[in-house]
A and B are shown apart, each in its own frame.
Chain A
Amino acid sequence: MPKVKLTDKRTGEIQILKTSPADGGWGNPVIYFIALCVIAICIAPVLYIIVNGFRDNSQITVKPAGFPHPWVLAHYIDVLKMSSFWHMAWNSLYIALITVVVVVVFGVMASYALARYRFKLRNAIYLLFASGLMFPLSIAITPLYIMMIRTHLAGSPWSVILPQIAFGLPQTVIILTPFLAAIPKEIEEAATVDGCTRLGFFARMVIPLSLPGVVTVGILTFVGSWNSYMLPLYMFSDQSQYTLPLGVQMFSTAHSVDTAQVLAFTSIAMLPALIFFSAFERRIVGGLTGAVKG
């Protein structure tokens, strides 16, 4: 309880505070207990998926809620040997990487223009992207599919990548614009004095300085693309184009009796997002915190 410590400095008030329930000893254990319960609820379904992939079907049938006995590795190994799994993982990765690169490059460029140039349409463009934040993809998805059929792109990775870029740009621009506007004018003036053009300043100073914001935006875009389900469902009809979320669902339908195998497949499919998230967790949670604080 920080308050207690801080108020300690103000002599005279300490006594009152110590007797109030605010800093009473009961607070902490209760909070830890609640925190533990919350964590248990959050994690249990994830653990269920992972742990049950190590059981075989007869174990699961006899006792649906139980621990592996013995632990069976075969299901996980089978999944890793599946060429279709690796193919779908590659599709997911390919789509996510291109989406991230284009969103970041175009997003930084547009944010730079909005942050550091004054021009007539500046407010209009900013408003356009701000309203795009609230525009749900599910509304645009049917006409997007029509457009992709009309341009013969339906079924190609670009039919998913292009809409993802368009729907990823608003958040990128809105996050990065204040970021770029915050780069001190003095740095730019100094660069100008040294003979740097505005575009040269962009390449040499802005890009390195905006890296933290770019990383946050990149992670959000990557995880979003990796988990994306409705767009690939609309665009892809051939299994060879499927991304992992589609593949997981297809696999679970096709192997509905082989629960253990489905669970193993599902847990491997969710690993990349989990690893990626835990590696960059500080940036995501920190980025959110910073955004709200602003």
Chain B
Amino acid sequence: MSESLSAATAAPEIALNGLTRSEGGNHVLPPSSRPRRKNSGGIRAGLEVTLLSGPAVIIFLAFVIVPVIVALYYSFYSWKGFGTPNPVGWANYKWTLTNPQFWDAVKHNGIILVLSLVMQGPLAILLALLLNQKMRGRSIIRVLVFVPYVISEAIVGIGMSLMLQDTGAVNDLLNAHVGWLSSPKVAIWTLMFILTWKYIGFAIILMLAGLQGIPEELSEAAAVDGASYWQIQWHIMLPLLKPTIKIWAFLSIIGSMQLFDLVYVIWGQYIANIAGVSTMAYFMAQNGRLSGQLGRGSAIAIVVFLISLVVAIAYQRFILNRDTEGALTEAGEE
């Protein structure tokens, strides 16, 4: 979705993509179904392929791959968006890597990454197990659980900041005076709550879909052998859900790494650093585009890119194993 491309929004979208990736696990690239004309077309077939796939490939290369090269180039310049770029060598990288605020942001991203997995994962699995039974209104429940996911991060941010401000509805309801957004100790937990609220529906739907792919015969057979409900969930459903859980975790990690919208809308351009919720993407926007330092912003983008790459590769190397590796790493290998 990419669409959405906004950092936080992109997370879900990429997430959606991920779903399909699981499919890839089984049959990486579906076999083309026309061996017959293999030799018939020749030049004509080649032309057709070029015309059909050309536009998508060109747009993709131009706006996804080329930017990485552009960022690499401009990261060695100082440029404010007009005039001639001024070469500065490694200064932008030095500035970034010696900036304590950057490392704060990296730390916050790490905390968010781990807490998202720890908070959303078990909760989503538990709720999916509970909802994975024939009950009335299940389809309505699925829709309502999905609602927060569909609402724009900007709107969630505005609504949440009004509810959670010092004189807001939450403090009124609890009869408390907690600085949900302003207190550095509390703010990160507030953010985690909002993230859980926003994205748990997606996790639940994903887990439910995974559960529904498990043949009913297995739990039936276990029940026949006298296994209790929770024994069945623990010893049969959970292990079989593993591939889904791993894919969800990967999507969640990607989402955590690029969190931006919610933090920026709720905490604004400056306060996130003080509140202890700034993220790498926030730091990049704040010190790049929003302060007119496009060379510096490019250098930060490259650093963030490398960090994300290391995390993604580490995850695939150490966590994902055979059952999903085809889907995530060797998508092209046939």
Known: A21-B229, A42-B145, A165-B59. A117 touches B45 (CB 8 A): yes
Known: A146-B74, A177-B30, A249-B265. A136 touches B201 (CB 8 A): no
* Complex CA distance for A235 and B261, rounded to whole angstroms: 15
A149 at the interface (CB under 8 A from B): yes
Distance between B213 CB and nearest chain A CB, rounded to angstroms: 4
- A261-294 vs B, CB cutoff 8 Å, 1 = contact: the mask equals 0110010011001100110010011001101111
Distance between B121 CB and nearest chain A CB, rounded to angstroms: 16
Chain A residues in 8 Å Cβ range of B56 = 106-107, 109-110, 129, 169, 173
Main SS class of interface, A: helix
* Complex CA distance for A49 and B161, rounded to whole angstroms: 11
- A223-235 vs B, CB cutoff 8 Å, 1 = contact: the mask equals 1111111110110
B167 at the interface (CB under 8 A from A): yes
Chain B residues in 8 Å Cβ range of A169 = 56, 59-60
In contact, B155 and A228 (Cβ under 8 angstroms): no
- B254-289 vs A, CB cutoff 8 Å, 1 = contact: the mask equals 100110110011000000000000000100110011
Q: Which of B18, B260, B264 lies in contact with A133, CB distance below 8 A? A: B18
- B13-40 vs A, CB cutoff 8 Å, 1 = contact: the mask equals 1101111111110110111111111100
In contact, A221 and B2 (Cβ under 8 angstroms): yes
A69 at the interface (CB under 8 A from B): no
User: B142: nearest residue on chain A (CB-CB)?
Assistant: A285
Q: Count how many chain A residues have C-beta atoms less than 8 Å from C-beta atoms of the other chain.
A: 138
A170 at the interface (CB under 8 A from B): yes
Known: A41-B197, A288-B16. A138 touches B7 (CB 8 A): yes
A79 at the interface (CB under 8 A from B): no
Chain B residues in 8 Å Cβ range of A193 = none
In contact, B3 and A168 (Cβ under 8 angstroms): yes
In contact, A182 and B127 (Cβ under 8 angstroms): no
Chain B residues in 8 Å Cβ range of A124 = 332
Q: Which of B32, B51, B154, B220 lies in contact with A229, CB distance below 8 A? A: B154
Chain B residues 184 to 222 lying within 8 A of chain A, measured CB to CB, are 197, 201, 205-206, 208-210, 212-213, 216, 219-220
18 more contacts with CB within 8 A, not counting A7-B223, A133-B14, A227-B152, are A17-B223, A38-B145, A46-B148, A64-B168, A109-B53, A117-B48, A130-B331, A142-B298, A167-B2, A167-B64, A174-B24, A185-B34, A188-B33, A229-B154, A230-B8, A231-B4, A234-B285, A293-B213
Name B residues whose Cβ lies closer than 8 Å to a Cβ of A.
1-14, 16-24, 26-27, 29-38, 41, 45-46, 48-49, 51-53, 55-57, 59-60, 62-64, 66-71, 74, 79, 81-82, 127, 130-131, 133-135, 137, 141-148, 150-160, 162-163, 167-173, 197, 201, 205-206, 208-210, 212-213, 216, 219-220, 223-224, 226, 228-229, 232, 244, 254, 257-258, 260-261, 264-265, 281, 284-285, 288-289, 294, 297-298, 300-301, 304-305, 308, 312, 328, 331-334
- 7 residue pairs of the A-B complex, CB under 8 angstroms, read A39-B144, A42-B145, A46-B147, A110-B57, A163-B5, A174-B21, A249-B158
